[in-house]
Structure 1
Amino acid sequence: MRLAFKHIVLATGLAVLAGCVSAPTQGPVRETVASPAFTEAHQLAQVDARGNAARIEALLASLDDAALSRHTAALAANDPLYPFAGRAMLRRGLQPPHAFDRGWNFDGRQAAAADGYRPPNKVAILLPLSGSLSGAAKPVRDGFLAGYYAETRQRPTITFYDSASGVNGAYQKAVSEGADYVVGPLDREQVSALFTQANLPVPVLALNRGSRGAPAGSVSFSLAPEDEGIAAAEYLLGQGAKNVLVLTGPDDTLRRTSAAFRERLQARGGVVVDQISLSSNADALPAQLTAAAAKGEVDAVYFAARGDHTASAIPAINSQPALANARRVGASQIASGIDSAAEIALLDGVVFPRESLGNRQLSGMPGNPGALTPTAAGAAGRLFAFGYDAWLITAYLEYLATSPQKPVPGATGGLQLDGFGNVLITPTWSVMRSGVAMPLGGR
């Protein structure tokens, strides 16, 4: 009976919306001729936005930039479709027309500075400072402190709490001791546990994404591999590359990256010509590449792989005339696992996302923080940058919430806030030249 009712509502809504899309709330809204995909997405959001999320995202992905921008401009901030449409725009590098409605409250903070700086008064930082995750927590902690101490204006007091023994207890203790903002936890399961409390008395900047979305007023910040895959797909589509050969590494993180890349590319009208695992027998790779090239035109090769696996595949790719001149884009892990200068040289021309440390000057952040502290050396540098950006989000949250069109320049990339309380990272792209990672475009 419930299912039948949904179909009746959907059919009625589609008939009403066949000619236009209009928002039911928040004042006058422009009407515009709607595409069938946007019309369907709008009605699905009205019926059950959460349950229909996957279909809504697929429908919005099928729109070109002009149609997505035009239709999104016709929605009010509290329309149930606006968070989806606004996020789709952000991921394409487009500017949403207005801020997202998430019930923010910044009344207890000091007045905002001209640049948007408006930190809380007393911050509690929940990190696993002991136990199995302490190794990951330390660079995050030190990155946060680097940003915190680089700020010369009035700063909040900060207190660290060890969340290893239980996040709920640490959160309650922080609240009882007067914290008006909480940063953390870092563990995904702990984020889920905290976010089951729909009405958190003190808002949270979670340093991961849980199985539940962030409650109103709270935020999730994560180095999610899925976000990286989506960003890579959008980058290649923006370069006009729609036919992509995907080469994947063996670990779970890279598989998640490649799966998200594939899903986004196909949803936006692109084609994954073939997908080849680099963890299999290396001797079989030349024949696999020959078979892939025979399937159709290849505009780009996407390496969801570490640097050593990518370097081992380059000679075979270069020997294929149909692949030798294709664009080459890699995951952030492409800078890891390389042991020799010869391997590094093979990566020349590969574009990949990396921290912004070598591309822009950030207050209190040296270009090579690993030279100053071991907690920022090697792969830990990304977590150090992540911690630095957690401070920026803490201090500029109101700016992020009210100005989605203007990213905050961070150490991991450009920071923006979507309508679901997730911080989106627009990567800073680099390219390997003569064995050195250089800012793409010479910036």
Structure 2
Amino acid sequence: MMGLALFALAGCASVEVQKPAVQAAQSGAFAEAQALARNHAGLDGQARADNAARIEALLARLDDATLSRDAGRLPVGDPLYNFAGRALLNRGLPLPRPFDRGDWNFDAAGRPAADRDGYRPPMKVGMLLPLSGSQAAAASAVRDGFLTGYYGESRRKPELRFYDTAGGANAAYARAVAEGNDFVVGPLARDEVDAVFADDTPQVPLLALNRGSRTPPAGSAGFSLSPEDEGISLAQYLIERGARRVLIVGGGEDAQRRSAGAAKLQLERRGVQVAGNVGIGADLAPLAQGVDAVLLAMKGPQARALVPQLALAGINANTRVATSQITSGTGKPAEDMALDGIVYPAETWGSRDVPGLPSQASAAARLDTAKGPAARLFAFGFDAWLVTAYLERLALSNNADIPGATGRLSLDGFGNVLRQPSWSRYSGGVPVPLGDGAR
């Protein structure tokens, strides 16, 4: 209301002064980002990461209309387009044209043409997973989800072979190449992904099942249930609902810190003030002034204990969101009523039907790998099959996405699979699905 009053007092002349100033600032940010992008390919290591962060920060200054317009004006091949396109996708906005893919090739090994819906799987797929050792349980859930999608498809399917990465991801990849696979899915660990992506021109393209510090080479892609991506989705949810001052409270686990940190960065880049990014047990009262939204990066029992502390501190924000970890340690509605009103990103499979998948309850009755926390990795494995089968469509079509078990899947200009999650809200102590997407 105060802003409207000031606007009325200032009169129309203020609009004529302010609008060109804003336009000039946004044009300057776009031009600076374009100059940085021209030199990006020649950088490596920390310098490359810092340059990318600077470009993303500059693009974050642009409003939706300006970002869409200026991205559409970039010529084909301009290195800024991949950055601008990813920013558009993260905001849920359409691309003006497909990404510039360069040397991607889907014709290897005599692969038949795509079906009308874009289905075009490879001919032989090698899957790299830690089938033995401490990560074998996680790998089993991913494997079973992948196989559920694979055997649920009635059309032509690739030959499928599994390779244990317990002896090293590079060795497993070399065996997969030597045995004639024309596509590889995996590995699963972040350090293994960096190891196989160290070669900028791999003999056989990969769909890595995690995201390391290296950009996927041309023709390859990376898919991850990244805590950072979840943080960005939460930030976008808050931005679209007009949040102006957000309090972030997080636990001490690595995934919790990563989600909270990514959300904070995205909010600040988009001009939202972060009142604090604090841990559980912090004094909240000094941070309460003006808070209109709260983001919780913690498990359910921690959130239940925190809710009355927020009230005692005078924080009564109507908009409350949480990472997907909030469902951990829940399941008793009488206790979980303390979480009512909290919205969190969820896997689509847990709340509604997914084509090609039995219901989660049905799958859990038959497979231990589809129960409890493992169900998320099962859904991830199913989606890895979808990306493998529809990668050409995702890579080459304009604004293509596929409905998966973990959300709607698309591919950015750097080969990263992006995921628009479904959303749920606690009501009466139980999660209730909301409409798809954050918009």
Specify the TM-score bucket, using the shorter chain as the normaliser. Answer: 0.7 to 0.9
Please give the alpha-carbon distance, in whole angstroms, between the structure 2 residues aligned to 1:298 and 1:332. Answer: 22
Please give the alpha-carbon distance, in whole angstroms, between the structure 2 residues aligned to 1:93 and 1:442. Answer: 12
Please give the alpha-carbon distance, in whole angstroms, between the structure 2 residues aligned to 1:441 and 1:395. Answer: 27
Report what 1:76 is aligned to: 75
1:291 maps onto 2:286 in alignment: yes
Please give the alpha-carbon distance, in whole angstroms, between the structure 1 residues aligned to 2:286 and 2:374. Answer: 39
Once the two structures are superposed, what CA deviation does each residue of 1:216-239 show, in whole Å capped at 9, x if it has no partner?
100011111111101100111011
Please give the alpha-carbon distance, in whole angstroms, between the structure 2 residues aligned to 1:365 and 1:81. Answer: 42
Shift in Å, 1:101: 2.1
Report what 2:142 is aligned to: 140
Contact 1:147–1:365 (8 Å) recurs in 2? no
Contact 1:37–1:59 (8 Å) recurs in 2? yes
Report what 2:183 is aligned to: 181
- Of residues 178-187 and 366-375 in structure 1, the stretch that sits farther from structure 2 once superposed is 366-375
Please give the alpha-carbon distance, in whole angstroms, between the structure 2 residues aligned to 1:442 and 1:99. Answer: 23
1:351 maps onto 2:364 in alignment: no
Report what 2:15 is aligned to: none
Once the two structures are superposed, what CA deviation does each residue of 1:139-189 show, in whole Å capped at 9, x if it has no partner?
000000011111111111111111110112211211121111100000111
Find the partner of 1:377 among 357, 365, 371: 371
Contact 2:423–2:436 (8 Å) recurs in 1? no
Please give the alpha-carbon distance, in whole angstroms, between the structure 2 residues aligned to 1:289 and 1:343. Answer: 23
Matched to 1:299, the amino acid is D
Report what 2:251 is aligned to: 249
Q: What TM-score do you get using the length of structure 2 for normalisation? A: 0.88
Matched to 1:141, the amino acid is R
Shift in Å, 1:88: 0.4
1:224 maps onto 2:216 in alignment: no
Shift in Å, 1:339: 6.5
Contact 1:404–1:416 (8 Å) recurs in 2? no
CA distance 1:77–1:146, change in 2 (3 Å): farther
Please give the alpha-carbon distance, in whole angstroms, between the structure 1 residues aligned to 2:139 and 2:372. Answer: 15
Q: Which residues of 2 match residues 266-281 of structure 1 at below 5 A?
A: 266-278=268-280, 280=281
Consecutive unaligned residues of structure 2, counting only runs of 5 or more, are: 1-19
Please give the alpha-carbon distance, in whole angstroms, between the structure 2 residues aligned to 1:352 and 1:33. Answer: 35
Q: What's the secondary structure of 1:73's corresponding residue? A: helix
Q: What's the secondary structure of 1:192's corresponding residue? A: helix
1:405 maps onto 2:399 in alignment: yes
Please give the alpha-carbon distance, in whole angstroms, between the structure 1 residues aligned to 2:203 and 2:100. Answer: 19
The CA RMSD measured in Å over matched residues stands at 2.0
Find the partner of 2:308 among 309, 315, 340: 315
Matched to 1:37, the amino acid is A
Contact 2:126–2:183 (8 Å) recurs in 1? yes
Shift in Å, 1:138: 0.5
Contact 1:338–1:344 (8 Å) recurs in 2? yes
Contact 2:186–2:207 (8 Å) recurs in 1? yes
Percent of matched pairs sharing the same residue: 52
Contact 1:404–1:418 (8 Å) recurs in 2? no
Please give the alpha-carbon distance, in whole angstroms, between the structure 1 residues aligned to 2:179 and 2:39. Answer: 42
Report what 1:326 is aligned to: 318
Report what 1:14 is aligned to: none
Matched to 1:361, the amino acid is V
Q: Which residues of 2 match residues 388-403 of structure 1 at below 5 A?
A: 388-403=382-397
Shift in Å, 1:319: 4.3
Q: What's the secondary structure of 2:405's corresponding residue? A: coil
1:45 maps onto 2:37 in alignment: yes
Shift in Å, 1:370: 2.5
Consecutive unaligned residues of structure 1, counting only runs of 5 or more, are: 1-18, 20-31
- Of residues 415-424 and 433-442 in structure 1, the stretch that sits farther from structure 2 once superposed is 433-442
Shift in Å, 1:53: 1.0
Contact 1:242–1:265 (8 Å) recurs in 2? no
Shift in Å, 1:343: 2.7
Report what 1:5 is aligned to: none
Contact 1:246–1:302 (8 Å) recurs in 2? yes
- Of residues 113-122 and 85-94 in structure 1, the stretch that sits farther from structure 2 once superposed is 113-122
Please give the alpha-carbon distance, in whole angstroms, between the structure 1 residues aligned to 2:149 and 2:398. Answer: 22
Please give the alpha-carbon distance, in whole angstroms, between the structure 1 residues aligned to 2:56 and 2:88. Answer: 11
Alignment size in residue pairs: 403
Please give the alpha-carbon distance, in whole angstroms, between the structure 2 residues aligned to 1:276 and 1:142. Answer: 38
Shift in Å, 1:256: 0.8
